[in-house]
Amino acid sequence: MKAVGYFVEGAKRNGHKRGIGDQNRAFLDFCSRQGYEVAGTFLDTADPEAPGSGFRQMLSFLQRADRGFTVVAVDSLGVLGADLGEAAMKLLTIETSGVTVVSVHTAKELAKELVETWAERGDETPVSERVRAAMRRKAVKGEVLGRPPYGYHVGPRRRLELVPDEAVVVRYIFRLYLQEGLGIRKIAGKLNEEGILTRRGGRWSMVSVRDLLRNRVYLGTYTRFGVKIPGSHAPLVSQEDFRQVQERLQSRSGEVRERTVTPFLLSGLLYCARCGNRMIGVSRRQKWKTRDGEEHSSSYRYYQCESRTNQSSCGYNTQRAQEIEARVRAMVAEVEDSPQVRRVRRAGNVDSYVLDLIAEVDRIEARMRKTRRQLEEIVADTAHGHLSLERMRALGSELAKEQQDQAGELAAAKARLAAHQSESERHRHLDDLRARLTTSWDEMPFAELQRALREVVDRVDVDGDESRLFLRP
């Protein structure tokens, strides 16, 4: 049996900082007592999330096929993080490699120590966790949390109460779908044609109509945090009508089958030149029989104006995926004085792509914070006896893997941002990338090709056979 030691300079144990030497001696004593062979040691004195950090090196070592039976031994939870949330994320990240993390002082699984420490915090419980617990208690009482659904508002007793004008629209939508047989897209189009606006004053889309038809709140049942309160407010739909609507929605979704989702190369880049809305990728599969009874099938991929797809507005602006992608490829290779290719003008010193990258970094960091909050909730539920330790590990490992993927996305986004900070470097980088697209389009992996296009191309305006490509500045 082998053991790996992981040390962090200044990590605290029982409120006291521990040096690398102290942690190493405790690790060697642990190996001697327990009969473990030292497989290696890794240490960090700076950012443990950096690409060349000891933590990253240790993860790479643990993924080797020849490591055999190995445990990771640490001096304390403080080695894995300055707070319990960070320690939980790193602990479960390590255990996704198939190893167990133990304490060098007790030889006890650190996951158990984590849960026990979490349960013993008492008044030190983070405000966010206490707030979530209070919200669960409110949900049990049927008190509304968050924004009320369309058709209702929050009354004086914090219960849902009807909004008469909106309630009429809800019943109208259910009647159009169930009794008049209109599909979701036609319902959205009809509402928009009749000038009926959403609560925010916008237009109805297929998604907003579909979500309304699926919402069980219209049965008079309030659901939040896994708590269901039947009869908590006035219903807008009968049980039988709601059941029939769900059956019809399910039948229209087709047979349940494993689907392979193939992304569209130009997603986020194509715009309808008529209305200014995005062009979205659409896949259609068609089956037919010949006169002699032979069955045939074919798949079609195209981009269509989102306004027409989701709101039944705008004209018929549809582009076959293969044709428009070939057209964009040709435009990328054209010189900038071509009438079809333009360099985007910058407003003052503001570089729109740099701003896009900064926004992307912010979005990834927000997702990472959300993933960590979800992990903390799982550990808290385990500490309160609602989940078993093994269940915590199973759910937590999925979130830990998700966090690792997000960390990779964040590093790549920050690298792209760094490459565009200097104007001269940015222009050189974009020119090199555009040249690579011209010569190596077919050889580039899909994800790399799509990412390169989004760096080089700002947008492509399309109307029938007419198209214009705008390059990043």
For residue range 18-48, what is the model confidence (pLDDT) as tens digits?
999 999 999 999 999 999 999 999 999 866 6
Q: What is the pLDDT of residue 348?
A: 37
- Residue 8 above 50 pLDDT? yes
pLDDT per position as a tens digit, 376-420 = 888 888 888 878 899 899 999 999 999 999 998 998 888 878 776
pLDDT per position as a tens digit, 447-464 = 899 989 988 898 899 988
- Half-sphere exposure for 236 (CA within 13 Å, toward CB): 28
pLDDT category of residue 256 using cuts at 50, 70 and 90: very low
pLDDT category of residue 132 using cuts at 50, 70 and 90: low
Residues in the chain: 473
- Please spell the DSSP secondary structure of 415-440, one letter per residue: HHHHHTSSHHHHHHHHHHHHHHHHHH
CATH code: domain 138-252 is 3.90.1750.20
Measuring CA to CA, which residue among 78, 77, 75, 59 is closest to residue 67? Answer: 59
Q: What is the pLDDT of residue 83?
A: 87
Both tokens assigned to 263: 């992304």
Q: What is the pLDDT of residue 49?
A: 64
Q: Strand 295-305 to strand 318-320: parallel, antiparallel, or no bridges (unpaired)?
A: antiparallel
Fold assignment, 2-124: Rossmann fold (3.40.50)
Angle between the 184-193 and 206-214 helix axes, to the nearest 10 degrees?
A: 110
Give the pTM: 0.52
Instruction: Report the SS3 class of residue 128.
Output: helix
Torsion of CA 79, 84, 90, 96, to 10 degrees: 130
The mean pLDDT of 200-209, rounded to a whole number, is: 89
Helix intervals (H) in 63-163:
84-95, 110-119, 127-140
Q: What is the pLDDT of residue 231?
A: 80
Highest mean pLDDT among 9-13, 118-122, 429-433: 9-13
Domain coordinates of the chain in residue numbers?
A: 2-124, 138-252, 270-333, 341-471
pLDDT per position as a tens digit, 72-110 = 999 999 999 888 889 999 999 999 988 999 999 999 999
